[in-house]
A and B are shown apart, each in its own frame.
Chain A
Amino acid sequence: MLLSEEQISLADAARDWLARRTDLAAARADGAALAALYSADDVRAAAELGLTSLLRPAEGGTFADLAVVVEELGRAGSPLPLGQAALVARLLDQIGIGAAVSDAVAEGSALAVPAAAEPDDAAISGVPGADGTLVLASRAAVVVGGLGAAWLLVSAAIGDDRALALVPAASVTRTARTTLDLSRDIAAVDLHGVTVPAGDWTRVGADVAETLDQALAIIHTLDAVGAAGRLLDLTVGYVKEREQFGRPVGSFQAVKHHAATMAVDIEASRLCGHDAARTLDSGDLVAAGTAVAVAGSVAGEGTSRAASTALQLHGGMGFTWEHDLHLFLRRIKVDELVRGTPRRHRERLVATAG
C-alpha cells in the first residue's frame, strides 16, 4: 500500500478543500503571474487545516505526509506554496531561529518560502559581518511563491560552510518572473548586500542544507504528479465523450494506448515521488539523494510526456486558453525543470552510484 489510512484521509481533506478554494480563472487572467493569486484568508484557512504546520517536529508530521498534500496542490493547480511554507516551519524549529515566524506560518498569519540557488547555479554566498550579522550576495533566480511570501529562508554558503538566514521579503528586491507557469507566483530575488542581523541566521550542517534541497525537489515532483493525475482524469473524461467517426475517440486503440501510457507514466512517477519522501523521512540522506534523483528524472519526463499527450488527445480544444488543460501542462513543465532538470538528476545518480 502506497498510502496509510491517515494519509488517504489527509489527501481527501486537502482535495476537497482545494477544490473549493482554487480559482483557476484567476490564473487565466492577464498578468496573472505578476502577483500572488491567493488571499490572506486562503493562507489562514490552510493553516487551520494544519497544512502549514504539518512538518513541524512537534506535530510529528513526515515528508511522506507532505508529499500527499503537495500532490493535491498540484492536482488542484493551487497557487498556495504550502509545501514550501511547511518546510520552512520545520527547518526554523530544527535550527532554532525565527520561532515567531515559524509560529506565524503555522497559524497562517504569514507565509515563508525557501530561497536557494538553482542546482546549476553558484550558491548564494554569505559573509559574516560585524556584530554577528551575515551579509548576503548574489541572487536566487527562481523562488516559487516568492512574490506572496512575507519571509524568505535563504540557503547560503559561507565558504565551505552552509547557513540558513531568515529575511523579510519586503526588505529585498523581488521581480516577478514570466515563466510558462501561470498558476503560481515565481520571483527572482536580489540578495546583494542584504544584511541579516544576528539571531536571524545560523550556520547549519551540510545535512540540513541537503534536506532542504531534497525536500524542494520532492515538492516539485509530487506537484507534477498531482497535476498530471488531474490531466489524466480530464483526458479520459474527454475521450469518452468526444465522438468522431460515429464513436467516442476513446474507443480507438491508439487513443486507449495513449491514455494507458499516461497512466503508467504517472503511476511510476507517483511511486518514485512518494518513495523519495519516505526515504527522506528515514534520515538516510545518501539513500534519499538517490531516491530523489530517481524521482526527479523519472517523474520530470514522465509527467511532461503525460501532459503533452493530454493536449494531443484533446485535439484543437486542448490549444484553447479557456480550457484548464494548459494551466497544468505549463505547471508540469516548470516542475520538471526547476530544482534540477532530469539531466541534472541523472548526473546526481551517477555521482551517488559512483
Chain B
Amino acid sequence: MEREIFEDEHRQFREVVREFIAREITPYHAQWEAEGIVDRTVFAKAAKHGVIGFNVAEEFGGGGVRDFRFNAVVAEELAAAFVTGPGFLLHNDVVGSYLSRLPDGEQKARWLPGFASGEAVWAIAMTEPGAGSDLQGIRTSAVRDGDDWLVSGAKTFITNGIHSDYVIVVARTDPSAGSRGISLLVVERDMPGFSRGRNLDKIGLHAQDTAELFFDGVRVPSRNVLGKLGGGFIHLMENLPEERLSIAISAVAGARAVFDSTLEYTKTRTAFGQPIGGFQHNRFLLAELATEIDIAQVYIDRCLKASFEEKLTTVDASKAKWWASELQQKVVDRCLQLHGGYGYMTEYPVGKAFTDARIQTIYGGTTEIMKEIIGRSLGV
C-alpha cells in the first residue's frame, strides 16, 4: 500500500541513506559481526552524510530538522539491508530525543556538537541486573558531595556500551522519594570510577556492542544532571514513546525485508515442477503476511505522524511496539517454513533474522509490559 507519510525531502534522504549503507556499512558488516563490534568511525561518517545528527540544531552542527520521519527512513533502510550493527537508532533516535528536549544552554554547547558530528557516541543506561521491567527498582545511586554527585552501581545490557563516550545514567538521587527521587546524570568516558565490563556475547546482533557498566563513586558535576533533578522518571516516560516507536518502525521494516526475500525465494524455487509460491497454501500464507505487514505499517505511520506533531502517547507507542515486534516474529517464523527445509541455514537472511530479530519483543519494554501499560490506560 502506498504510504502517505513521506514528502520529497524524505524520499531524497532515503536515497542518501541507502547509498551510504551500501558503501560504508554492508561491505564491512560481516567483519564487524565477527569482531563483535562496529568500527566506531562509522558514526562520524554517517554524521558527515547527514544520516545521523540531522535532528540537532544547525548552530551546533546538526541538520536542524526535528522530524521523526527522517529517523524512520534510517531505521527502515538499515532493516531493509539486514544491517544490525551500528547503534544509530540508540544514539540518534533514543538519546537524540532526550538531547533535543532536556539540555540547558550550556549543556547544549558542550554536548550537541560532538553528538551531531558522530565524534561522540552516546548510550542510555536504565537496566540493572536486578531491574529490567521494573525501572523503579533501580539501585544505582547518586549521593550529593558538595557541588557534585557520587554515582555508584551497576548497569547491564547497555547498547553502545563499549563505544559510548557519554552515558545517560538513570540513578536514584533521593532514596526516600520513590519515583520522584530518580534523576538522569551524564557520565563521561574518562571519569574516574567508571568502568566497563566485557562486550556481552549475544545470540544475535553480533556487531552491536552491548555491555555492563560499573560506577564506583564516579564524581559527576551538577552541570551533568540532564533535565530536572528528581524528574528522571518523568523524563523517561516522556522519551520512551520515541524509543518504542523506533523499535516498531524497525520491526515492520525488518518483517518486510524478510518477507521480500522470502517472496523472491518462493518465486524462484520450484517443487513438483512449479514455483513453491504457486501452491495455494503458500500463496495464501504470503497473502496473509503481506496484509498484516501493510496494516501494521499504516498504524506505525499514523504514530509517526503523531510523533512529529508531538502528539505521540505512551499508550499508542506501546501498542505499536508490541504489535509490530510480535508481527516480526510471526513473519520470520512463517518465512522459515516457506523456505521449505532450508530456512534454518544461516546463509539465508531469514535464518539469521531468526536470532537477530528475537530481541525486539524484549528490549525497550517487553510485550507483557506494553500490555500492562495499555491495560492500565483502559482502567483495568
Chain A residues in the interface with B (C-beta under 8 A): 118-121, 141-142, 177-181, 243-246, 249, 252, 254-255, 304, 308, 311-312, 315-316, 318-322, 326, 330, 333-334, 337-344, 347
Q: Which of B130, B137, B344 has the most CB of A within 10 A?
A: B344
Contact segment of B83-91, B198-206, B293-301: B198-206
Beyond A318-B362, A333-B354, 4 additional pairs, beta carbon < 8 A: A120-B341, A178-B347, A254-B371, A333-B344
B203 touches A326 (CB 8 A): yes
The minimal Cβ–Cβ distance linking B363 to chain A, given in whole angstroms, is 7
Residues of A within 8 A of B333 (CB): 304, 308
Q: Does B104 contact A (CB under 8 A)?
A: no
The minimal Cβ–Cβ distance linking A81 to chain B, given in whole angstroms, is 17
Query: CA A252 – CA B203 in complex, angstroms?
Result: 27
A142 touches B341 (CB 8 A): yes
Query: CA A87 – CA B137 in complex, angstroms?
Result: 54
Query: CA A249 – CA B201 in complex, angstroms?
Result: 25
A244 touches B132 (CB 8 A): yes
Which of B202, B341, B351, B361 contacts A180, CB < 8 Å? B351
Which of A252, A255, A337 contacts B343, CB < 8 Å? A337
Q: Does B345 contact A (CB under 8 A)?
A: yes
Which of B201, B271, B342 contacts A321, CB < 8 Å? B201
Residues of B within 8 A of A121 (CB): 341
A180 touches B367 (CB 8 A): no
A323 closest partner in B (C-beta): B203
Residues of A within 8 A of B281 (CB): 343, 347
Q: Does B346 contact A (CB under 8 A)?
A: yes
B337 touches A342 (CB 8 A): yes
The minimal Cβ–Cβ distance linking B362 to chain A, given in whole angstroms, is 6
A333 closest partner in B (C-beta): B344
B344 touches A341 (CB 8 A): no
Residues of A within 8 A of B341 (CB): 118-121, 141-142, 337-341
Residues of A within 8 A of B134 (CB): 244-246
The minimal Cβ–Cβ distance linking B307 to chain A, given in whole angstroms, is 26
Query: CA A140 – CA B156 in complex, angstroms?
Result: 45
Number of A-B contacts (CB under 8 A): 104
Known: A320-B202, A321-B202, A321-B203. A177 touches B345 (CB 8 A): yes
The minimal Cβ–Cβ distance linking A294 to chain B, given in whole angstroms, is 17
B358 touches A337 (CB 8 A): no
The minimal Cβ–Cβ distance linking B215 to chain A, given in whole angstroms, is 19
A179 touches B345 (CB 8 A): yes
A255 closest partner in B (C-beta): B368
15 contacts between A and B (CB under 8 A): A118-B341, A120-B271, A180-B355, A246-B137, A308-B333, A315-B133, A315-B362, A315-B366, A316-B363, A320-B202, A320-B203, A321-B203, A333-B344, A338-B341, A339-B341
The minimal Cβ–Cβ distance linking B136 to chain A, given in whole angstroms, is 8
Instruction: List residues 186-234 of chain B with CB under 8 A from any CB of chain A.
Output: 200-204
Residues of B within 8 A of A180 (CB): 344, 346, 351, 354-355
Query: CA A330 – CA B346 in complex, angstroms?
Result: 11
The minimal Cβ–Cβ distance linking B257 to chain A, given in whole angstroms, is 18
Query: CA A178 – CA B351 in complex, angstroms?
Result: 10
Query: CA A180 – CA B204 in complex, angstroms?
Result: 11
Query: CA A182 – CA B351 in complex, angstroms?
Result: 13
Residues of B within 8 A of A246 (CB): 134, 137
Residues of A within 8 A of B361 (CB): 312
Which of A252, A255, A337 contacts B344, CB < 8 Å? A337
Query: CA A341 – CA B341 in complex, angstroms?
Result: 6
Q: Which of B127, B137, B346, B347 has the most CB of A within 10 A?
A: B346
Known: A312-B361, A312-B362, A315-B366. A244 touches B202 (CB 8 A): no
Instruction: List residues 208-265 of chain B with CB under 8 A from any CB of chain A.
Output: none
Residues of B within 8 A of A326 (CB): 203, 355
Which of A179, A244, A252, A334 contacts B137, CB < 8 Å? A244
The minimal Cβ–Cβ distance linking A293 to chain B, given in whole angstroms, is 15
Q: Which of A246, A322, A341 has the most CB of B within 10 A?
A: A341
A347 closest partner in B (C-beta): B281
The minimal Cβ–Cβ distance linking B371 to chain A, given in whole angstroms, is 7
A333 touches B336 (CB 8 A): yes
Query: CA A142 – CA B345 in complex, angstroms?
Result: 10
A319 touches B337 (CB 8 A): no
Q: Does B329 contact A (CB under 8 A)?
A: yes
